[in-house]
A and B are shown apart, each in its own frame.
Chain A
């Protein structure tokens, strides 16, 4: 008896603890605090199915507890032989029918939502972004806008944005929990989903399909800004002159080093669709370096000198000549000043 109570207490405690924890799941990452249409739909179904299933669990646990209290062998029962019951048609029918009804209650809204989220009828009137998953970074091409970015995806708040997604290598999965559920990014066919952020903010996205050593470092951000800010951002991005000379001499040296060291064979600045490596047009405006590190000059120097130590298995390692710390510092200076727009993650409010 004591043992059982102990177990229940342990489980109850755990449950409580988890609830407290769930409340402090990181805002802008958790699926439990939706800020987008898809995530809203998902959370609704999560709650509905949880409630119904908890009801079933409660019934099981009630019967279970009664059984364990009433029918445990007691002293003096050694010779007692219980009645050998064969079954009970009525009871068995009851516990067949009721679950079917409960499941239907979950099934109907599930299917409605499935079709709702797969609806592509508004795609042609909306902003379309071509998303490419790469080991281990994301590329975004704003269709018909001549804008290419990597890692940070800017979207106008409240608008449906259609993502046409494909992978350039292995399968990845695009997931921004607080805005929408995930969708796989396959190498053979384009998958389309839409996202619709309901509040301005910077939302954390993750790759959810196992894609190699740095799978856990394939993060990105969705930055939802007001429509006016978004329009401004588009204009700024379209006006970038990739040839422009940086102001400081250090940065100018950095620029030529960037070209000499073959960086341009993979990276692009401006609206070039080349994408062996991330497009760096608005590198200085980014919220993170390589998706996971703080965007600082120090970190950038480390990255240029040895990307492997930050992202194992990445495809930059070994594909350019060795650079000294001094050179890396100059390149970093150049890249950090690539800040074409006033509209940055800070504009979206939260970090």
Chain B
């Protein structure tokens, strides 16, 4: 019924549907489009950076504009591309993997999404309103406090708003995974992607408040004349670095752990094997998360913390290599003795293993303090973290998208184009970033608008830029693939990859209530168990009955718009009195929506049993 209706709906209706939806599957689509858009934007900025550095003393962009590009590239990629794309996959998959009908708080899910989107738009409005932030994605004080114009103000408020969205989303997943698992889905039967999402959400819960506080202090210094970071008035500028990295280091694991989960699921499915050392994988994840909080000062080896602090943080950092190594070997052991099918999703997983191993290698090298005195703030570090973030997170997102696309959209992405994307991106990636290790050691610091002639840095930079073009080409092929698939792609079956987990037991795409009856889970890889010893599909754990569903709501969008407006108010109250109207108006709008939400009882609705029975045939 609903599917027939949806085909005939006009644009306005679809738009309204998406603006008000609280369905995790549609929210996943929105995270995908939003994150995908910002990924392209960040990529465009990266290309501009690389074109500027194609030859020494180039003048493709000016110094000020370069710094804006550089800052926005980093900020966009981390906060507005990588994380939302991961949230897209989590939203699309997690409830399905644990056999749930939705996330724990559908309303909050939608609120988190809109906060991300409007925060991201606010940040990017800076381009048109006198200049983007230009103090680096890390916004070190005092540079960020003294940066003229409103660029950094947009950074502060845009990130504050998106950050709130992220925190909300994290809490939601925590509660969902704790409370909404299907009968029989014990913790030690959860798929690895669910596990890593769970641990990641914990990291978000503890890490983001540090960012929130840092941003508040910066906001007060810039807009209200406080002096938290002003040395001249008794403040301390290094405090920002501590706050930033207490958030920022776990952030790296927030990005990488879900990717680990995605690869674990994909490698097991495509090797036709149970994940090797499941328990070790789970504990390694938890250990990595824990250590992730203990090592922030390794970003500050050259700050002058002294040899004692530097040594302690060096050892703690090296320790992370152990659980990470366990993971690499367990993945290899999962494939060992298996029957490996290589499709596009698996290609990304296979490309990930050597790439990420190299990123981890340089991670240990950077942890070696005295060696880091040379690497720090150079292209070596740029290479290192792109090996980890791109080789881990972005490869993971590509892998997950190819793997779950049929579940998300009911169509399989074109394999040929998928493989072309992979190969050009992989080759382009190594061409771009491998050489940068050497550029760094040969004396090229990071965040350099130009490098000088005659310093031996020309060839390396040229190669690096050529590589970036390959990557851009790969991404374009992926876009073509998406459009082609939407128009002509083959319809997906329920279980296109011979999967092992619960999401493959229901239709592609799933009905809006997901599971007609909650499934009964009898072990790890429930679908696989049923395939090998049962009747091919999972037994229901409950009789067919009415399904309770939440109502759509426009409030989350309005609340986010309120904060968006208030953001402009905060930024411009420094210059213009009328900006207070925006400030208080926006806040009032958000608060009014919150009040409505609290006072109005919204019990949702039920899908009656008879309708479910009718749909079955």
Q: Per-residue 0/1 for B434-458: is the Cβ within 8 Å of any A Cβ (1 yes, 0 no)?
A: 1101100111011111111011110
B142 touches A103 (CB 8 A): no
B325 touches A71 (CB 8 A): no
B146 CB-CB contact with A under 8 Å: yes
Which of B231, B277, B279 lies at the interface centre, i.e. has the most chain A CB atoms within 10 A of its CB? B277
A213 touches B67 (CB 8 A): yes
B337 touches A82 (CB 8 A): yes
A53 touches B438 (CB 8 A): no
B544 CB-CB contact with A under 8 Å: no
Given A57-B358, A210-B447: A21 touches B374 (CB 8 Å cut-off): no
Given A68-B340, A173-B302, A312-B64: A85 touches B443 (CB 8 Å cut-off): no
Instruction: Tell me the smallest distance from the CB of A223 to a CB of chain B, in Å.
Output: 17
A264 CB-CB contact with B under 8 Å: no
Residue of A80, A177, A183 near B304 (CB, 8 A) is: A183
The residues of B that contact A14 with a CB separation of less than 8 Å are: 430-431, 434-435
B311 touches A111 (CB 8 A): yes
CA–CA, A32 to B431, complex, Å? 21
A244 CB-CB contact with B under 8 Å: no
The residues of B that contact A180 with a CB separation of less than 8 Å are: 373
CA–CA, A11 to B136, complex, Å? 31
For chains A and B in complex, what number of residue pairs have CB atoms within 8 angstroms? 305
Which of A67, A77, A211 lies at the interface centre, i.e. has the most chain B CB atoms within 10 A of its CB? A67
Count of chain A residues with a beta carbon within 8 Å of a chain B beta carbon? 98
Which of A14, A54, A114, A186 lies at the interface centre, i.e. has the most chain B CB atoms within 10 A of its CB? A114
A99 touches B368 (CB 8 A): no
CA–CA, A292 to B333, complex, Å? 54
Q: Which of A169-216 contact B (CB under 8 A)?
A: 169-171, 173, 175, 177, 180-184, 186-189, 191, 204, 206-216
CA–CA, A188 to B234, complex, Å? 9
Instruction: Tell me the smallest distance from the CB of A287 to a CB of chain B, in Å.
Output: 13
The residues of A that contact B448 with a CB separation of less than 8 Å are: 215-216
A81 CB-CB contact with B under 8 Å: yes
A60 touches B357 (CB 8 A): yes
Q: Which of B231-252 contact A (CB under 8 A)?
A: 231, 236-238
Q: Per-residue 0/1 for B340-377: is the Cβ within 8 Å of any A Cβ (1 yes, 0 no)?
A: 11100000001001100110011011001111111011
Residue of B274, B339, B372 near A85 (CB, 8 A) is: B274
B274 touches A18 (CB 8 A): no
Q: Which of B278-299 contact A (CB under 8 A)?
A: 278-280
Given A80-B339, A204-B455: A95 touches B443 (CB 8 Å cut-off): no
The residues of A that contact B393 with a CB separation of less than 8 Å are: none
The residues of B that contact A17 with a CB separation of less than 8 Å are: 435, 463
A81 touches B64 (CB 8 A): no
CA–CA, A31 to B271, complex, Å? 44
Residue in B closest to A207 when the chains form the complex, CB atoms? B445
Query: What are the 5 tightest A-B residue pairs by CB atom distance, in nearest-first order?
Result: A181-B373, A25-B442, A26-B456, A216-B448, A191-B304
What are 14 A-B pairs at a CB distance below 8 A? A3-B423, A18-B460, A26-B442, A38-B373, A60-B328, A67-B332, A71-B339, A82-B271, A85-B337, A87-B278, A110-B368, A210-B140, A210-B447, A213-B67
6 more CB-based (< 8 A) A-B contacts, given A17-B435, A173-B377, A181-B376: A73-B339, A73-B340, A115-B311, A189-B304, A210-B135, A216-B447
Interface residues of A (CB under 8 A from B): 3, 7, 10-11, 14-15, 17-18, 21-22, 24-26, 29-32, 38-39, 41-43, 45-46, 49-50, 53-54, 56-57, 60-61, 63-64, 67-68, 71-73, 77, 80-88, 91-92, 95-96, 99-100, 103, 106-107, 110-111, 113-115, 117-118, 169-171, 173, 175, 177, 180-184, 186-189, 191, 204, 206-217, 219, 292, 312-313
